[in-house]
Amino acid sequence: YKLGDPTANSLGRLTLNPIKHIDPIGAIFMLFFHIGWAKPVPINPRYFKKPKRDFAITALAGPLSNLILAYISALIFLLIVKLFGDINIQNMFINNLLLYTVLFFKLLHLINIGIALFNLIPIPPLDGSRILNAFLPDRLYFKIMQYERYIVLGVFALIFLNVLDGPIAFLTGLIEGIIFKICEIPFV
């Protein structure tokens, strides 16, 4: 929107309401196959002043917001651990409530890092391919885009064969460590 494209705003997609972003089939896949997706945010690059650059910036917004959410989740996780970690609470309900709250923020942290990393893979239709477009000559990028539907099938095959699990887990651990180091600074 800030770069000149009113498409998402005019369709009511500039909202934090998660219902506006749920794709019914993606949600069903998440429940049954543990992989899912949301509705893509509509973008019309014709509104951009510098289409290649602005499209890349727009594509980077999703993974960047996931990393910001991962940072906030880690900060809340550490805050709860620092506040309640050394206190022996006798009440079982409060113990369980704290435990589930800490686990929630830990999982939210990890899931957001995983989503950011996955979306940064530079293959269509992921955000990483849109970012890569800013650095590739148009001719080469359009050649890659001719095979987008086959590449998507290849990505699904890699997911179902668990080929991406190792690299994403390694990078998730690396980024998790960096985020936690940054989050611990206020507590030192």
Answer for the pair 71, 35: CB distance below 8 angstroms, yes or no. no
> Once rounded to an integer, what is the mean pLDDT over residues 17-40?
88
Query: DSSP for 101-119?
Result: HHHHHHHHHHHHHHHHHHH
If you average pLDDT over residues 24-50, what whole number do you get? 88
pTM here?
Answer: 0.81
pLDDT digits (tens, 9 = 90+) for 77-131: 989 888 876 555 555 666 778 888 888 999 999 999 999 998 998 888 789 988 9
Contact 109, 78 (CB under 8 A): no
Q: Which pLDDT score, from 0 to 100, does residue 81 have?
A: 83
**pLDDT score recorded for residue 164:** 83
Q: 102 and 80 in contact (C-beta within 8 Å)?
A: yes
Task: Look at residue 187 in the predicted model and tell me its pLDDT.
Answer: 74
CA distances from 7 to 46, 61, 76, 131, 137 (A): 11, 16, 34, 20, 26
The number of angstroms, rounded, from the C-alpha of 187 to the middle of its chain's C-alpha atoms is: 27
Under the banding of pLDDT at 50, 70 and 90, the label for residue 133 is: confident
pLDDT of residue 125: 79
Burial grade of 166 (CB within 10 A; 0-12, 13-18, 19 or more): exposed
Lowest-pLDDT choice from 65-79, 126-140, 142-156: 142-156
When pLDDT is averaged across residues 132-154 and rounded to a whole number, the result is 85
What average pLDDT does the chain have? 87
Whether the predicted pLDDT of 184 surpasses 70: yes
Asked whether the beta carbons of 168 and 114 are under 8 A apart, the reply is yes
Instruction: Give residue 73's pLDDT.
Output: 95
**Packing angle between helix 92-119 and helix 51-84, nearest 10 degrees?**
160
Degrees to nearest 5, angle at CA 88 with 85 and 91: 115
pLDDT tens digit sequence for 42-83: 889 899 999 889 999 999 999 999 999 999 999 999 898 888
Q: Is 120 exposed, middle or buried (0-12, 13-18, 19+ CB in 10 A)?
A: buried
Distance CA 154, CA 148 (A): 10
Section 128-150 average pLDDT: 86
Average pLDDT score over residue span 152-163 = 84
